[in-house]
Structure 1
């Protein structure tokens, strides 16, 4: 969907014209395949590096438009859906010799150029599947990158479903997340490292099916996205998040099998690449299009290679984890590629390249040793492998050939890593590169340490000693520091609380200090119950909610004591929360600066502030204890510097 002129189709006529162009493109593709127009040699590989930009407090920094403008001479740098993401398009490399080394060098060189510009804004690149410090309000529509195609796409997704009810996200891992958002911008949480393998047309079915087979195992060993909004979820939360964020299906009373736009697939490919495009056109309505698209059949008749723009635009709105791609090489010949979209960004460039080498090598090795895999395993088992890998990562058992059940570690060590080595050797990849990259994969397996497991272990350890928001910040800081070394994740030590110095405390927001595991009461509750709760949980203030979950007050231990005294001295009967609560408590948003919160507490002589959204739905509570904890950490940092 690289065409920047795409937009929503605003009339039936525009939609019909685009669909006609789409069908013409499909016929043109078939003609070129049947008449041997496609490039067969050399075989090339390519990649795309997505990244997230964070400020000096490790929160998303929406400055991508300014950075792109200042670096506009670099055509390899491009935008992504949000203002805090960027993407690097890497040069195609002939798949032999030093190809992988060249890709790694180019990734690192390009990242260095971007980082040098970001340094002027005290901003950093983070390579990870989902940024641990990402907050729900970062996904506001104000942070959509200002290009028409992004607005058009989000608008079209909304139009395909009842967007008035929002986008519900439900995920369960170690923790549970149930959240509603008002736009499909949830997709912007995800950053990946996408790898392309050029494939000869006559081998496309075989390679594509192998890609499907390998999706589960490659995801298991590369998982790097276990956290979202402070919850420990799937090892690759990107998988579920991406599907749910742009799911255009609606809940219906009848059980019709509608396919999501984000899919692995429903069956093996049986014919060829045209089969996939036909299925996507039949299943998924056009979301966006473009005017004045070339007539591909007319191009064919003139002996010219068409761009197939309509087909590429539609293909860009169907999110297969292994996407079929059409392109035109520099020599003017058309070619086909398989795009692996399942790999997360990070944890380091070395890790990304190890994932890339493993996948590419396994693709070639599997093809040489097994060929057609359709009769060796049921596709339903491949889908099951994918789902389990997304949830459990390397802590998993896979379905395999001959109805075997095999642990992920055994499958990787005994079958797939050796196959990948054979594949890279067949492509005559430099042996030192093969050894280096596959040794990273092997060590990950031996140490049972993927990016996802490192994040989960680190976050759990940090969270036991501090509030979760600060744990997320320390974790992200550690990712950045380790990323700078380019040492693979299996060598990283777990971060400690005192590794992080809280600089310029007053620049932080309430979200960094508030607690979110909050106990609440209702107006009709008796004060005896509230008093017991305060004793059990060692708390001094409790928010009061109504039946709809809206904040209606706050009750403190002082009010409870005063009520008990009235009962004792004045003989007052049963007293409820409604009678004693503060009916107009101070409510602040999670984006409120810490300085402002402290001023409010001092001015109002308050020991706690309620944190809520615009609808008065509780998000957390900020008490003097959290403020004192933050001040203590800041003072420790200044003492260390002294």
Structure 2
């Protein structure tokens, strides 16, 4: 969400003109692909983490502007809600000691940011959804003061034509409405970028779609929303509903939601950009001065700004990205599946598992997506969000055996996917000691069946049993989570939920 736009409407172009520009961008993209103008393989990856701000009482703080002033670093920027920040890690080559390098950079950067934020009692929290958020926290007055967010909210509310409805039926059921898109800000995630060549893009994207369910099952860290215990990873249903511009009549007609798993395996990156134009009306119809066809005909590479802006308002869990760096275009797969946290070690372990597994699956002679239907992959994602580390997924039988079987995700990971992830990291030439350490974190999660969501739920219920009311139990859980998060040991090693004595009345 980095593009700068004006919120007063003066930059809005005629929608028909914008649609024509989008079609030009798509035509140019097709030519760039056909002419093989894209960057050579560089094995580059990138990382972004969305963060929450919470006080020593565990409650959200609407202070991102003040905190950013104190941090004073270009690595940190605003996100949708005033209780959000985002940290961006510079691209790295995916080889050697990259995993430990990323961990060290994150610990240093987040530690500094946390120290500055606590000067105004607004500490940094890496978590999928802050358990203490209330409906009163996610109102339009708490949108970050950024033109793009203001305009995006206006356009989505106008497209919807009525309040957004949240209806999530999990362990408990939450039903409410919102007059703005601000509830989306409750969802804080990790985005993993991987630069790929056009000829490898489809295989990498298809592989990422296959493993999305496994990622979210192992990494689930968002079991609470507005005081309700919902799905083990409640971000996806919340994000889909908080950005759903379809009134009930359009839903009934089968119109696709803007937050979308997809509906088919692909053959090219072009397929995804084409779908985005075909199925989703523009929300921010702002035309750039660049004429992409003229730029391309002149021997230069266009930025395709309209395509990039539109692409950013279609919320795929694995999003295609087109970008130009040093005059050369490249493609990336942006994996948006994982919640933030719980610790830096957990984040890097999740990243190691993803990058290794996607590499191995994308190069498999019998790819998973040739044996698993897209509908089954989508159903797996839903199941994983609901049940987290206890999920059972549909997966092709191992070896040369035909057919699909249902398998506990922890067994699938330990028996089949961890060895593949290790082989994939070897193919990236990642340091073996780092490979073993971070994949070992994933293995321990599976052995103990503990991740961020299961720990939060256990701690919350123990606090209730100790006599705390629901609001106090959620605050106590959040405070204890923050303590352990800053200690930095991976979540599978955290002591089982402790009520009043350890979780206590303060930090």
TM-score over 0.5 for the alignment? yes
**Aligned with 1:470: secondary structure?**
helix
Equivalent residue, structure 2, for 1:570? none
Equivalent residue, structure 2, for 1:525? none
* Gapped regions of structure 1 (runs ≥ 5): 504-636, 638-642
Equivalent residue, structure 2, for 1:628? none
**Aligned with 2:59: secondary structure?**
coil
Question: Offset at 1:369?
Answer: 2.7
**Aligned with 2:248: secondary structure?**
coil
Equivalent residue, structure 1, for 2:500? 497
**Higher Cα radius of gyration:** 1
**Aligned with 2:341: secondary structure?**
coil
Choose from 280, 285, 290 the match for 1:284: 280
Whether contact under 8 Å (2:139, 2:183) holds in the other structure is no
1:34 corresponds to 2:31? no
1:374 corresponds to 2:369? yes
How big is each residue's C-alpha offset from its partner over 1:295-334, in whole Å with a ceiling of 9 and x where there is no partner? Answer: 12222122222211111100110000000011223x4321
Distance (Å, rounded) in 2 between the aligned partners of 1:409 and 1:450: 12
Whether contact under 8 Å (2:218, 2:389) holds in the other structure is yes
Whether contact under 8 Å (1:21, 1:293) holds in the other structure is no
Equivalent residue, structure 2, for 1:55? 55
Equivalent residue, structure 2, for 1:388? 383
Question: Offset at 1:456?
Answer: 1.0
Give 1:322-333 correspondences, 5 Å limit: 322-329=318-325, 331-333=326-328
Question: Offset at 1:107?
Answer: 1.6
Equivalent residue, structure 2, for 1:417? 418
Whether contact under 8 Å (1:9, 1:15) holds in the other structure is no
Equivalent residue, structure 2, for 1:179? 176
Question: Offset at 1:217?
Answer: 0.9
Using CA pairs under 8 Å that are at least 6 residues apart, name the structure with larger relative contact order, 1 or 2: 2
Distance (Å, rounded) in 2 between the aligned partners of 1:333 and 1:365: 27
Whether contact under 8 Å (2:56, 2:123) holds in the other structure is yes
Equivalent residue, structure 1, for 2:342? 347
Give 1:116-515 correspondences, 5 Å limit: 116-163=115-162, 166-252=163-249, 255-269=252-266, 271-329=267-325, 331-370=326-365, 372-401=367-396, 402-464=403-465, 465-493=467-495, 494-502=497-505
Whether contact under 8 Å (2:58, 2:479) holds in the other structure is yes
Distance (Å, rounded) in 2 between the aligned partners of 1:11 and 1:59: 38
Distance (Å, rounded) in 2 between the aligned partners of 1:490 and 1:7: 45
Whether contact under 8 Å (1:198, 1:335) holds in the other structure is yes
Whether contact under 8 Å (1:8, 1:289) holds in the other structure is no
Distance (Å, rounded) in 1 between the aligned partners of 2:440 and 2:251: 51
Distance (Å, rounded) in 2 between the aligned partners of 1:299 and 1:308: 10
Give 1:616-631 correspondences, 5 Å limit: none
Whether contact under 8 Å (1:474, 1:495) holds in the other structure is no
Question: Offset at 1:15?
Answer: 1.8
Equivalent residue, structure 1, for 2:399? none
Question: Offset at 1:458?
Answer: 1.0
Distance (Å, rounded) in 1 between the aligned partners of 2:289 and 2:230: 43
Distance (Å, rounded) in 2 between the aligned partners of 1:276 and 1:500: 47
Which deviates more from structure 2 when the two are superposed, residues 90-99 or residues 402-411?
A: 402-411
Distance (Å, rounded) in 2 between the aligned partners of 1:448 and 1:253: 40
Is the alpha carbon distance of 1:470 and 1:202 closer, same or farther for their aligned partners in structure 2, counting shifts above 3 Å? same
**Aligned with 1:160: secondary structure?**
helix
Question: Offset at 1:16?
Answer: 2.2
Whether contact under 8 Å (2:32, 2:38) holds in the other structure is yes
Distance (Å, rounded) in 1 between the aligned partners of 2:256 and 2:36: 33
Question: Offset at 1:366?
Answer: 1.2
Give 1:560-571 correspondences, 5 Å limit: none
Is the alpha carbon distance of 1:326 and 1:497 closer, same or farther for their aligned partners in structure 2, counting shifts above 3 Å? same
Equivalent residue, structure 2, for 1:533? none
Equivalent residue, structure 2, for 1:598? none
Distance (Å, rounded) in 1 between the aligned partners of 2:310 and 2:206: 22
Question: Offset at 1:156?
Answer: 0.7
Whether contact under 8 Å (1:6, 1:290) holds in the other structure is no
Is the alpha carbon distance of 1:105 and 1:332 closer, same or farther for their aligned partners in structure 2, counting shifts above 3 Å? farther
TM-score (norm 2): 0.95
Equivalent residue, structure 2, for 1:534? none
Distance (Å, rounded) in 2 between the aligned partners of 1:199 and 1:380: 25
Question: Offset at 1:225?
Answer: 0.4
Question: Offset at 1:501?
Answer: 4.4
**Aligned with 1:46: secondary structure?**
strand
* Gapped regions of structure 2 (runs ≥ 5): 397-402
Question: Offset at 1:113?
Answer: 2.3
